[in-house]
Amino acid sequence: MFNIKEIGIIHTPYNDLSECPIQPSRSKDTAEVEVFKEYGKGLSDLDGFSHIILLFAFHRSEGYSLRIKPFLDDHLRGLFATRAPRRPNPIGLSVVRLIEIRDNVLTVNGIDMVNGTPLIDIKPYVSEFDKRDDVRLGWLSESPDL
């Protein structure tokens, strides 16, 4: 067992889950990521990165099923082959563009979570580490929505 505590809160224009884009790549909206003051020093040197990875809690998610029908498909799929929010550990991940840092508040673009989402962690996106060229898309390769 381990504990994860929130380090901040994500303020978005989406007050209802139905308003949220299904992925950051489908969002053009800007939002503010408020890092609690006691973690503010950890933002040092982050301003040189164009993109960051936000780890957050799906705080409105309840329960889960190991077989689900994802947003972009009509077939049941294994939960871990999707990015669905209802998970045994309701943790989300989004890569967003970092626009600005003012004190302990980050302005980001490409947000896809509901207003008030708890922030768990921030990591820099580093293309040398994170980008892959030999990618297979599994069942998503059949989706006309990609």
**Contact (Cβ atoms closer than 8 angstroms) between residue 42 and residue 133:** no
SS3 for 33? strand
What's the Cα-to-Cα distance from 32 to each of 98, 107, 113, 119, 129, rounded to whole Å? 10, 5, 12, 11, 26
Query: Which pTM value belongs to this model?
Result: 0.85
Which CATH number does 8-128 carry? 2.40.30.70
What is the residue extent of each domain of the chain?
8-128
How do the pLDDT tens digits run along the chain, 146 residues long?
889 999 999 999 888 766 665 666 666 778 999 999 999 999 999 999 999 999 999 888 888 989 988 877 888 989 888 878 888 999 999 999 999 999 999 999 988 889 999 999 999 998 887 777 887 767 667 776 65
Sign of CA dihedral 48, 12, 14, 90: positive
Give bridge partners of residue 53 from the DSSP assignment.
Answer: 95, 123
